[in-house]
Structure 1
Amino acid sequence: MDKTVPPGAAILLDFIRETEVGKSDRASYDVIYGHNEDKLPKPLTAMTYGEVVDAQKSWTKRFKSSAAGGYQFMRATLIDLANAMPSLRGDQLFEPDLQDRLGYKLLLRRGYAEFIVGKIDQVDFGKRLAQEWASFPVLAATQGDKRLVKRGQSYYAGDGLNKALVRPEKVEAVLKRVLEAARQPHEIEDDAAPPAPIPVPRPEPQRKPVRKSGRFWTWLLTAGGTIVTALKELNLVALDWRVQIAILVVIVGFAVYAITSMPAVREALGLK
């Protein structure tokens, strides 16, 4: 199936091809009406679009119908599609992917998009499919091409050529699958989880050298000033020298502790 065809439409096109020509494999794209493809000079998929349309001129007389390919395109249908699709060229090979795209175009013409979104119901869409593909049955009694037709009959019943080749219950089951597939969110082509965002590195704060730290000199001068003040105001010089030393050790100890608690000092001293 051509990759441009949506999942729901692909299911329906496979079913149409199997119903119309009796198979859905690669060989189904080479079939012409009445399975007379062995009478052609070369396989249908090896012919160009223009060659197929030219050859179909004689097929109605030879084979009773000009239906060609997996979707049994009539000659008038191919000519009409060529007029409606400027990108379609006569020198393009009538290969499977091209046939799939043309088949999808016919689905759209018959209301596929409206059916998917609920603008037309299953019975209406079923009738439109039966108008495009004679092997499909109508899903409710309706006026056919030649006469009134019952549920399960071909829209073209009574023309002496066509009849429904599949039961209406089967069509309804497939259309249910088509709706389920078409209404699913499209899968992401690459289903891998998206990569986690790369964290933006933050520069570590630059620490000032100890000699440039205001905190270091503040504590150092405070400790020194405290010692001098204590000696002056408390007249510590009159104390026993051992008492003076003890007091000085306590004051200096507090100053050293305060200074060494600074991160820069601890890093400089190799402390953790």
Structure 2
Amino acid sequence: MTHTMPHGAAHLLAFIREAEVGRNDRASYDVIYAHRQGGLTKPLTAMTLGEVIAAQKTWSKAHGSSAAGAYQFMRATLVGLLREIPWLKEAQVFEPALQDRLGLHLLDRRGFASFVSGAISVTEFGRRLAMEWASLPVLAETDGDRRRVKRGQSYYAGDGLNKALVKPDELEAVLRQVLAASPSSDATPQPTAAVSPPTVRSEVRHRPVARSGRFWTWLLTAGGTIITALKELNLVALDWRVQLAILATIVGFAIYAISSMPAVRDALGLGR
């Protein structure tokens, strides 16, 4: 294993190797599908990545699958990784260290970091792993590759080729061990409750009396009332046009005074 392997990842990859090829030793890295590696001209771990990909073209017909190595990489998977990973080259030897790095890349692609951080559950991460490795079971009923599959079945159940080779309880136990081996997330700062800013009272400014709409409304109302009373007592004679102008002025100032009240402006959406 490489020294940069994240906490718990080495343990999980060892479990996957055993599930995929039935062993967890150095020889597991040389296994091809159906354990037909004895027919190879040289060990898988002595071949370059390019040689493995080229040889896999014939394995599907000859052996039923192109799966190769400790993590049973399919040819399409290796071709995809070669395009996806900048540092990966066809000339690199398909040795155990390289296979581990590629296995870790697949873990990361399936959400390993999110799993150990608590962002996804054991059940969800188990489903994602089952999508990558057919020997692993799903941990809850879900839609599989071909049909609806139950807990304990391979995600690829029904394809006539794959089936789960480990019990769901075993996978769950390993995943919980991975969580226990990962750095605790308890130290992660928790979001604090929002603190409302202190209420700041704005300075109250008084308008000059001469600019007050209420003042002029009251003044004109009083004046109009007086004039009307004098007219009724026949003490003053006003043309109807003058009376109409006085009424319009009073009404205008009344509207202005009312609309200038803060509560009224808020209700009308005019602001302060």
Give the structure-1-normalised TM-score: 0.67
Q: CA deviation at 1:86?
A: 1.4
Show the counterpart of 1:79: 79
Show the counterpart of 1:48: 48
| Alpha-carbon distance in 2 for matches of 1:129, 1:48 | 27
Deviations 1:70-116 (A, max 9, x none): 00000010011111111111111000000000000000000111001
Contact 2:19 2:135 in 1 (8 A): yes
* Alignment of structure 1 residues 80-99 onto 2, 5 Å: 80-99=80-99
Q: CA deviation at 1:3?
A: 2.0
| Alpha-carbon distance in 2 for matches of 1:17, 1:174 | 13
| Alpha-carbon distance in 2 for matches of 1:181, 1:125 | 16
Show the counterpart of 2:2: 2
Contact 1:123 1:139 in 2 (8 A): yes
| Alpha-carbon distance in 2 for matches of 1:103, 1:6 | 12
One-letter code of the match for 2:50?
Answer: G
| Alpha-carbon distance in 1 for matches of 2:51, 2:176 | 38
One-letter code of the match for 2:172?
Answer: E
Q: 4+ residue runs of structure 1 moved beyond 3 angstroms?
A: none
Show the counterpart of 2:169: 169
SS in 1 for 2:8: helix
Contact 1:32 1:72 in 2 (8 A): yes
One-letter code of the match for 1:131?
Answer: M
Deviations 1:209-253 (A, max 9, x none): xxxxxxxxxxxxxxxxxxxxxxxxxxxxxxxxxxxxxxxxxxxxx
Show the counterpart of 2:64: 64
Show the counterpart of 1:37: 37
| Alpha-carbon distance in 2 for matches of 1:41, 1:162 | 27
Q: State the structure with more CA Rg.
A: 1
| Alpha-carbon distance in 2 for matches of 1:146, 1:109 | 22
**Structure 1 gap ranges (5+):** 186-272
Number of aligned positions between the proteins: 185
Show the counterpart of 1:147: 147
SS in 2 for 1:72: coil
| Alpha-carbon distance in 1 for matches of 2:120, 2:7 | 20
One-letter code of the match for 2:41?
Answer: P
One-letter code of the match for 2:183?
Answer: R
SS in 2 for 1:54: helix
| Alpha-carbon distance in 2 for matches of 1:3, 1:183 | 16
* Alignment of structure 1 residues 182-221 onto 2, 5 Å: 182-183=182-183
Q: CA deviation at 1:33?
A: 0.4
SS in 1 for 2:59: helix
SS in 2 for 1:136: coil
Show the counterpart of 1:215: none
SS in 2 for 1:7: coil
Deviations 1:159-183 (A, max 9, x none): 0000000000000000011011112
Contact 1:5 1:100 in 2 (8 A): no
| Alpha-carbon distance in 2 for matches of 1:41, 1:27 | 16
Contact 1:135 1:163 in 2 (8 A): yes
Q: CA deviation at 1:184?
A: 5.6
* Alignment of structure 1 residues 129-140 onto 2, 5 Å: 129-140=129-140
Deviations 1:25-53 (A, max 9, x none): 00000000000000110000000010000
| Alpha-carbon distance in 2 for matches of 1:11, 1:161 | 27
One-letter code of the match for 1:175?
Answer: L
Q: CA deviation at 1:7?
A: 2.8
Pair 1:16 & 2:45 matched: no
| Alpha-carbon distance in 2 for matches of 1:29, 1:156 | 23
Show the counterpart of 2:102: 102
Please provide the CA RMSD for this pair: 1.0
| Alpha-carbon distance in 1 for matches of 2:2, 2:171 | 22
Show the counterpart of 2:128: 128
* Alignment of structure 1 residues 219-258 onto 2, 5 Å: none
Contact 2:139 2:152 in 1 (8 A): yes
**Structure 2 gap ranges (5+):** 186-272
One-letter code of the match for 1:5?
Answer: M
